[in-house]
Amino acid sequence: MKRSEINDIMSEADEMMRRFGFVLPPFARWTPDEFRARSDAQAIVDARLGWDITDYGAGRFDEMGLFLFTLRNGRLADLKRGGGMCYAEKLLISRQDQLSPMHTHRLKAEDIINRGGATLVVELFGSDDDGNFDGKRGVTVACDGIARTLSAGGKLKLAPGASVTLMPGDWHAFWGEGGDVLIGEVSTVNDDLTDNIFREPIGRFATIEEDEPPLHLLVSDYPAWLVRNS
């Protein structure tokens, strides 16, 4: 993806979030130079909070991609010991007919919430006994506290305000139907480096062509752009 495209997506996403009453935290406004100058931002970097825009390495963002902003994220060590900051929260935008491809998580349980806009379509499959994708197995999920059993490839259509709870091993893909959708994600600790298991061999992050300076840093920029001493 070109950096200019990423900058445009950031501006468009910010406008949509504000339209639905969501305002991003102060660090979302930092320029790269401001981020570099901060001596108090290590926790943001370590938790990988912030902007995240991906085309899954395919170079077709309008067809297959996702906007995300990680608002808060706990610690895997706390999750493993069963106490402490075991939760995470994101805002996402899925554009009309823009696929977030079939994937699952080994650790993360998540609520996917339609926060506003059009209809969110979620396609679901179950796992085999080893947790691998099973094209013949359905799932039972909770939609706002009500159990829903779907056959393999069943689709939920979530109107604004509706949600689905997905557990580890629930394979899912999603997209906006009839327009763009603002999505909330409330989950256990989020680890985008190791806990996204895709059905197809695709990447989690975009490869960036630097055709202009970044408006704000992506979480995937942090290792290259921010050098911090521990």
Task: Give per-residue pLDDT as tens, 35-48.
Answer: 999 999 999 999 99
Q: What share of the chain is helix, strand, coil (3-state, %, to 5)?
A: 20, 40, 40
- pLDDT mean over 192-215: 94
Q: What is the pLDDT of residue 229?
A: 43
pLDDT tier at 203, thresholds 50, 70, 90: confident
Mean pLDDT of the chain: 96
pTM for the full predicted model = 0.95
7 token code pair: 């900058």
pLDDT at 68 exceeding the cut of 50: yes
Contact 86, 79 (CB under 8 A): yes
- Report percent pLDDT > 70 for the chain: 98
Pairing relationship of beta strands 87-94 and 66-73 according to DSSP bridges: antiparallel
pLDDT score of 230 more than 50: no
Closest C-alpha to 74, from 204, 214, 188, 165: 188
Which spans in 90-167 are helix H?
A: none
- Residues pairing with 126 in the sheet: 134
Digit-coded pLDDT (tens) for 166-182: 999 999 999 999 999 99
* C-alpha to C-alpha distance for 218 and 55, rounded to whole angstroms: 13
Residue 60, pLDDT > 60, answer yes
Q: Where are the alpha helices (DSSP H) in 25-125?
A: 32-37, 42-47, 76-81
Place of tokens 């899912």: 172
What pLDDT, in 10s, does the model give residues 78-127? 999 999 999 999 999 999 999 999 999 999 999 999 999 999 999 999 99
Q: What are the residues whose beta carbons fall under 8 Å from the beta carbon of 36, sequence distance 6 or more?
A: 225, 226
Of 171, 52, 57, residue with least CA distance to 106: 171
pLDDT > 90: percent of the chain: 96
CATH assignment of 3-225? Answer: 2.60.120.10
133-158 pLDDT, tens digit each: 999 999 999 999 999 999 999 999 99
Q: Taking the CA atoms of 57, 62, 66 and 67 in sequence, report the sign of the dihedral they define.
A: positive
- Nearest CA-CA partner of 220 in 56, 61, 95: 56
| Domain spans in the chain, listed from the N-terminal domain onward | 3-225
Look at residue 228 in the predicted model and tell me its pLDDT.
54
